[in-house]
Amino acid sequence: MKANKIFTAILAITLFASCGNNSNSVGYDTNIINNPNTANQDVNDVKMPKISFDKNLHDFGRLSQGECIAFSFKFTNTGNADLLISECDATCGCTVADYPRMPVKPGEVGYITVTYNSAGKHGQEEQFVMVMANTQPSKNQLIIRANVEN
């Protein structure tokens, strides 16, 4: 019974001591996230990057099974702030994307190179690469197609 009272006292002291803690519970500075959209759909006058692809679909045409081929999607930062690509996720392990790791300045051109390995594939193939960046919207999709023959 006495141990129960001691435990309750320690718990109460811990709870009271932690009430004044003003630390950022997220663990990072949330000011790096810039979302200019508001609830009424107005956009504030803020500097934002914009990724503009020359094209977002590439068809490799006919490929032999086991062939490994690449295509570079050209894009331009048509916004007025540095473009930062954080990630490029492919829908399948047969597709890999390489992207710039450094900021792309406004007006500059960059490339995302998508490599497709047709090993073990057959017929009409379509793969997607999701590009995540500090843009609005934050996700942009690239598509590659191929007709894999034996």
User: SS3 sequence, 32-82?
Assistant: HCCCCECCCCCECCCCCCCEEECCCEEEEEEEECCCEEEEEEEEEECCCCC
In-domain check, residue 121: yes
CA distance 106 to 112: 17
Over 90: is that where the pLDDT of 7 sits? Answer: no
By the 10 Å C-beta count (0-12 exposed, 13-18 middle, 19+ buried), 48 is classed as middle
In-domain check, residue 68: yes
In-domain check, residue 41: no
Q: In this structure, what DSSP letter does residue 25 have?
A: T
In-domain check, residue 116: yes
Give the pLDDT score at 44. 57
Total count of domains within the chain: 1
Give the pLDDT score at 14. 55
The answer to whether 114 and 70 are in contact (CB under 8 A) is yes
Q: CB neighbours of 62 closer than 8 A, spacing ≥ 6? A: 146, 147, 149
Give the pLDDT score at 10. 65
Cis omega (within 30 of 0) for bond into 103: no
Give the pLDDT score at 54. 97
Q: What is the CATH number of the domain that holds 104?
A: 2.60.40.10
In-domain check, residue 27: no
Give me the percent of the chain exceeding a pLDDT of 90. 67
In-domain check, residue 44: no
Over 50: is that where the pLDDT of 20 sits? Answer: no
- For residue 126, give its domain range: 51-149
Torsion sign, CA atoms 9, 15, 21, 25: positive
Q: In this structure, what DSSP letter does residue 105 have?
A: P
In-domain check, residue 20: no
In-domain check, residue 36: no
